[in-house]
Amino acid sequence: MSYHYILFHKPYNVLCQFSDREGNNAGIQRPTLKDYIDIPDIYAVGRLDLDSEGLLLLTNHGALQHRLSSPKYAHPRTYWVQVERIPDEQALDSLRNGVQIQDYRTRPATVQLLPTEPELPPRDPPVRFRKTVPTAWLEITLTEGKNRQVRRMTASVGFPTLRLVRSGIGNLSLAGLPPGQWRDLTPEEVKSLLKQLRS
């Protein structure tokens, strides 16, 4: 069996699956991965919410998919997060040390306030924010992936998420990949990924 490994830059408002059986509240079918990727029998490793953007790894290599999706192996994923207002050091430290969201305490995370906005194309549709309220960008690296975790984390310390973009999965990066486009992993990237099956 030949394995496929691809990276996709998921746009905003695209479902992280290949079909939309239910449609939205009005029964209208929403854009899915099938609208962008014409490769049979590959599946996303993990997921991104409808209102999140960024890097998605897809493969037909079941063992690798299981390994990278399992919280047991603490695989790092990095996000660029635009939040409302400017977080202070106390809020950043709370995110780094772990916060309580619902009945769960998050694992320690790597969190930094970015000095400048990351180079990203404008979102379509644009982010709705208040002109009188400043925004900031954080870079957050997690080793777990609870449902809507990043949004719940920033909200818990008083800085709601406005835009969420996954910029990295392990050593894989969003760099050079426009929204709605995908590419095959290089042989070096595949080799690095497969090392994790043996570690």
Q: Which residues are catalytic?
A: 49
Angle 31-33-34 from CA coordinates, rounded to 5° = 90
Rounded Cα gap, residues 56 and 65, in angstroms = 12
Helices 149-156 & 89-97 angle (0-180, nearest 10)? 140
Residue 79 has phi, psi (to 5 degrees) of -130, 145
Three-state secondary-structure class, residue 119? coil
Residue bearing tokens 């992993």 = 185
What the block records as the tokens of 97 is 């040390």
Determine how many CB atoms are found less than 10 A away from the CB of residue 40: 8
Residue 149 CB contacts under 8 Å (≥ 6 apart), including other chains = 101, 106, 142
Cβ-contact 46, 146 below 8 angstroms: no
Cβ-contact 81, 118 below 8 angstroms: no
